[in-house]
Structure 1
């Protein structure tokens, strides 16, 4: 038979009949749709295996893998582009609020807090884990359950143009930027590039009549919001008042956990505890409150959601492992997030009783040497014992005469031979450091 390219309307009808989409042949659902992507390994090579495992169809972009007499192979010009177009088409079929979150730090925690708050009132679908890129975001859209009333899309980027691309697929109606920090400096070309890249969310909302939520305590966000037509401002205040424009949130306590207060729908100042600590998490909590109040989630529901949320996945976690107390925040790291986490830790721990483990920070480009020196210097003010991990930390360790380890395996071998009685260990590093090996 002659091979022909499948067109999008036909593919979308196939998807609607087989809405469980997978890009991993080992995890394909029976009766689902396998989309073969080219990456470190070419997904086209696994199309037959996916069909054998029960997939109803395999979308491929290599004619060489198609079995001519097998109608289950759907040939397209570009499988990745097809995945994105299917998601875009699916998004267009819905009219619920679509809330986008981007920023240098705190995206995932903010997403999870907002999801917890909004779930008190609505059927919510949110980005799983950190599926926040050009592949993960389309998969999030295509996995949206029927009856979803509120969709939350986390958007990550390491160079300019990525957020604009993701907005083109997800078409957010509302959104926020957590902050502008020193993340992915190499790809963005410096902090000003980060500002432009993350600001693409505001650009999209402004151009399409969307609503931006702005934490005006972040000076750069306050400045960026000046050009927006529709903006919801929120900020910290020691004496909240109903007469002030914008939503005011009071910090009642920061340690050992955050406690905040805000005005409910009954115009009463109510307080709630959280299981989070630190200024950086305060910003995340404030965002969740602001979104909940705007979408009319009752104040009691907001309080319940915030009080019940438990950080996980190596983010802002207090752990006790082999009788050693850890503050674990090692899912990602950049100069801004490391400084914020160290400042929070220092507020509640004496240097003599503290140990700091810092993994190298990735994707910083020319800024890397100075950035690593800066965070190591701050770590030395926070703890008497500072352990540094990774190639980017090697020169800093030599300069400050600190123990250095090439990788987390080497660290773990040494670490568990020491006596850490009475110490609290702070752990922060980029995901690529694999610092969780310390817990193996």
Structure 2
């Protein structure tokens, strides 16, 4: 199915096409590009123009560039523009304008990606659904997601993130959502906000700047900054505001419990009772699912069907995904939450670990939490006061910031400390044994996925060996 023709792309961007062409996808990475994709030569760590020839050799249908790159023929299929980033944004805006899709935008300090994936899973059973891949939620990820949206889309889910003030509003205005949701507000990226959590709340609430007239704002009623979120929603183009959480009335959590290997939640959604079954452990998943269901209601979806679809959803790799490592003497259960970390998400992950049934020990490997500013030491140390710490058998700490936690952990819980994830991964087989359940959690830059890979390799090794 054709996504863009050269004529359409020229009309959207004001650029110049060297020849007539058409594409059925868009890529920014030659490592994953598919035949027929439009290659977008963005400038990041390296200049994408250096890879245009390679993209065309791999079958790219065209390339979006500012000039004819070296080694590329002048009659190659190109769209030449003044600025590639601006042109990508123009394509995204044009894609949004040409579709009749109901668009949901999701932001929040924690849970953006899992909530986006829940929504995509639920809505895909009710119509043609388009959603951001991975965590494409920044200045290029949002317009790329929009530009990839087929005209026939019926529902779209756009994830919007930020690291600094002023980033969310322009992205929300590009997406022009019919529904905008804030999962929660927490102490993330604190170093960029002089006014702390209040500043973060105002930045998250900027997602409402992009709401279409008559749209719906969906927000977490349980966060301490909910008044800031409500005020922003009231000043936006929203015609209604839906609040979810224990403190909400229309979208309320009544109870949450861990039942076997799933989270079960009883909710009240617009005077209708539902029971949610989520194939992952954690109260935060239930809360995000409640907000997601409010979004389904707001776009006119079938909530009862969405509840059924939710039961088939499971977290993606690195974001709470659960898997087992088979060893000759038994198995290890791994909770892979290695993609990112902040005080709120680490606390939630420790609660999940503490509540997960196991026959052996409950073990956590925790890496540094980044971008916490002047409070970073106190926030790491504060994890030692976690209410479920007595249910966790051992905590291994990784990174210079986690050394602060390591030094104040009870001796009965204190495992080992490592400077880097690489050194911890090299010895991970010494720290775990069959019957254990193991949590891996840390900020992305800590590369905690190395430990996840180390655990997987234990199973691959054992599968090739004959037990003695």
Please give the TM-score of this superposition, normalised by the length of structure 1. Answer: 0.86
Shift of 1:132: 1.1
Q: Is the 8 A contact 1:280 1:341 kept in 2?
A: no
Counterparts of 2:225 and 2:135, CA distance in 1: 25
Counterparts of 1:375 and 1:252, CA distance in 2: 23
Pair 1:24–1:421, CA change in 2 (3 A) = closer
Shift of 1:38: 1.0
Residue 390 in structure 1 maps to residue 394 in structure 2: no
Partner of 2:459: none
Unaligned runs of 5+ in 1: 1-5, 239-243
Partner of 2:286: 282
1:39-86 deviations in Å (ceiling 9; x for gaps)? 111111112222233333322235664867435343322211211121
Counterparts of 1:371 and 1:90, CA distance in 2: 43
Shift of 1:399: 5.2
Counterparts of 2:57 and 2:279, CA distance in 1: 46
Partner of 1:3: none
SS of 1:24 mapped into structure 2: coil
Q: Is the 8 A contact 2:280 2:322 kept in 1?
A: no
1:366-415 deviations in Å (ceiling 9; x for gaps)? 22222111124538545242101123223443455742112222112222
SS of 1:214 mapped into structure 2: strand
Between stretches 336-345 and 16-25, larger displacement belongs to: 16-25
Counterparts of 1:221 and 1:180, CA distance in 2: 9
SS of 1:213 mapped into structure 2: strand
Partner of 1:194: 200
SS of 1:356 mapped into structure 2: strand
Counterparts of 2:206 and 2:374, CA distance in 1: 24
Residue 331 in structure 1 maps to residue 339 in structure 2: yes
Residue 123 in structure 1 maps to residue 132 in structure 2: no
Counterparts of 2:432 and 2:65, CA distance in 1: 55
Pair 1:222–1:344, CA change in 2 (3 A) = farther
Matches for 1:389-428 after TM superposition, within 5 Å? 389-398=398-407, 400=409, 402=414, 403-428=416-441
Counterparts of 1:56 and 1:66, CA distance in 2: 17
Shift of 1:225: 1.1
1:88-136 deviations in Å (ceiling 9; x for gaps)? 1221222321110000000111111112222232221111111111111
1:202-236 deviations in Å (ceiling 9; x for gaps)? 2333x844210123233423542145343342445
Matches for 1:116-155 after TM superposition, within 5 Å? 116-155=121-160
Unaligned runs of 5+ in 2: 1-9, 454-468
Between stretches 282-291 and 45-54, larger displacement belongs to: 45-54
Pair 1:52–1:283, CA change in 2 (3 A) = same
Between stretches 367-376 and 83-92, larger displacement belongs to: 367-376
Pair 1:50–1:151, CA change in 2 (3 A) = same
Matches for 1:184-333 after TM superposition, within 5 Å? 184-189=189-194, 190-205=196-211, 208-229=213-234, 230-236=239-245, 246-251=250-255, 253-256=257-260, 257-262=262-267, 269-321=273-325, 322=327, 323-333=331-341
Pair 1:324–1:26, CA change in 2 (3 A) = closer
Please give the TM-score of this superposition, normalised by the length of structure 2. Answer: 0.82
Counterparts of 1:432 and 1:268, CA distance in 2: 43
Residue correspondences, number: 428
1:245-284 deviations in Å (ceiling 9; x for gaps)? 623343253444322334689x753434221322211211
Counterparts of 2:34 and 2:435, CA distance in 1: 49
SS of 1:144 mapped into structure 2: coil
SS of 1:176 mapped into structure 2: strand
Counterparts of 1:232 and 1:159, CA distance in 2: 26
C-alpha RMSD over aligned residues: 3.1
Counterparts of 2:68 and 2:278, CA distance in 1: 54
